[in-house]
């Protein structure tokens, strides 16, 4: 199964987190091939040169080759590249799993946090772009932990092995 891992990749913390999650996915099965854009030195070695068309063509090709796209939704806003990759996957009917680990989504049953929504500038929850989230949900699901992500990937792998048999 070809998986595309769409995630921000410009801070060292992003790079390390992406590597950690992708390693866990790769450990699930020998039948998993994960494309992690930061590993493509031809277009993402930031000390070298790749223009916008080179990047768009290379990453779009890999999205289109995938049977599953995983999109990391964390950050102040969804990374624009991730949002673009989600759009391509949605348009081509590629299943998706969003990973949204932001801790501010916790406490949805806390009455004080809910009441604060009525006060200007007191939203205790994080906003995620609903259009991008909707595209993912129309072709898949969004989970809030790495363990839940790995479980969903296992389910996709099981579906793939059933259809191959």
Structural domain for 85, as ranges: 2-164
Instruction: Tell me the CATH number at 152.
Output: 3.40.50.450
How far is it, in rounded angstroms, from Cα 155 to Cα 163? 13
Total domains in the chain come to 1
How far is it, in rounded angstroms, from Cα 48 to Cα 46? 5
pLDDT digits (tens, 9 = 90+) for 68-92: 999 999 999 999 999 999 999 999 9
Please tell me the pTM assigned to this model.
0.92
pLDDT digits (tens, 9 = 90+) for 88-139: 999 999 999 999 999 888 888 999 999 999 999 998 888 899 999 999 999 9
Least Cα distance to 37 among 81, 75, 97 occurs for: 81
In terms of C-beta distances under 8 Å and separation of at least 24 residues, what long-range contacts does 145-151 make, across chains too? 145/101, 146/21, 146/24, 146/99, 146/101, 149/21, 149/25, 149/70, 149/97, 149/99, 150/24, 150/25, 150/28
């Amino acid at each position: 199964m070809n998986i595309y891992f769409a995630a921000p990749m410009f801070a060292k913390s992003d790079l390390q987190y992406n590597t950690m999650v992708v390693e866990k996915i790769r450990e699930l099965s020998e039948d998993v091939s994960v494309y992690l854009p930061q590993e493509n030195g031809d277009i993402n070695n930031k000390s070298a040169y790749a223009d916008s068309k080179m990047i768009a063509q290379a990453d779009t090709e890999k999205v289109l080759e995938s049977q599953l796209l995983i999109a990391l939704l964390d950050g102040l806003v969804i990374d624009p590249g991730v949002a673009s990759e989600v759009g391509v996957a949605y348009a081509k009917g590629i299943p998706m799993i969003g990973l949204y680990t932001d801790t501010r989504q916790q406490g949805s049953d806390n009455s004080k946090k809910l009441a604060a929504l009525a006060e200007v500038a007191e939203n205790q929850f994080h906003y995620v772009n609903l259009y991008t989230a909707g595209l993912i949900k129309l072709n898949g699901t969004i989970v809030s932990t790495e363990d839940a992500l790995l479980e969903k990937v296992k389910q996709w792998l099981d579906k793939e092995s059933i259809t191959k048999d």
